[in-house]
Amino acid sequence: MKFGIAIGKTLSPTVPLVLGGDYVESLETAARLGFQAVEIHLPDPDALPDDQLVEASKRLGMEIATLGTGSMYGLEGLSLIDDSPEKIATIQQRLRRFVDHAAILGSRVTIGSIKGNIPKGQDRAPYFDRLAVNLQAITAYAAEKGVLILLEATNRYENNLLNTGKDVHDFIVRCQLPSCRILMDTYHINIEEDSIDQCLSNTGDLLGYIHFAENTRRYPGSGCFQFEKFRQAIQAYGYDGVVSAECFPWPDSETVAMRTIDFFQRLFG
């Protein structure tokens, strides 16, 4: 098991990123605190200093676990089900660049909120078809580059499609998406899943990554999510990959990072 933490260039009280500023410095901070991995969130992957990150990750023994794409939706409104062919072309081109950078960094690429939202009152089927076509294209490209795509189950208030692990599993299987795995997040699990015991088994053999955050989206251990029961579900599934804190930087980054690594070490031993 590797313990990870979400980083970005800038922080906000309402965005679930813990460490901000220079990416290499955040990598060094995470390593000093006891994490073994980071995930980097940004809207444009060409801002990544690949050479510096590769050097730092090797020097520190750190993994750059995944590149988060959600700020494309939050900042630019780009989604994979947009009605505009021009916006679809933009996001496809951007995602290919994410994959290119991930291949250099030995990373994955996360697709979560950029799934978008189906407009109210519209027939949902064409939007699912559009999502399938666009994900088939990007996962095929990722497969050629040896990069995994993590498709996240997100709650209904953020995305009105693919909300549970089973939803994502069935979509991946039905659409035959290569190089695609499922990302589960305790914050979304708390809203959408019927059972903590079964939520991981519902992903079949496709579970690829896990986010940790409280029911409040603050750091794990600060709220009322049943993490001990979730730990048992992780062990029953046999997952031994990265568990990463994607939570609000409240009350401050340093406090969240330190309490999170302490929580991970106590929970998993």
Number of folded domains that form the chain: 1
State which residues form the domain around 23. Answer: 2-268
pLDDT of res. 269: 86
Q: Considering only CA atoms, which of 41, 46, 161, 28 is closest in space to residue 110?
A: 41
- How far apart (Å, rounded) are the C-alpha atoms in residues 49 and 68? 16
Q: Write out pLDDT tens, residues 6-60.
A: 999 999 999 999 999 999 999 999 999 999 999 999 999 999 999 999 999 999 9
Residue 178 has what pLDDT?
94
Rg for the chain (alpha carbons), in Å? 17
Q: What is the CATH number of the domain that holds 228?
A: 3.20.20.150
**Residues of the chain where predicted confidence (pLDDT) is lower than 50:** none
| Cα 136 to Cα 29: distance, rounded to the nearest angstrom | 37
Burial class (CB in 10 A: 0-12, 13-18, 19+), 212: buried
The pTM (predicted TM-score) of the whole model is 0.98
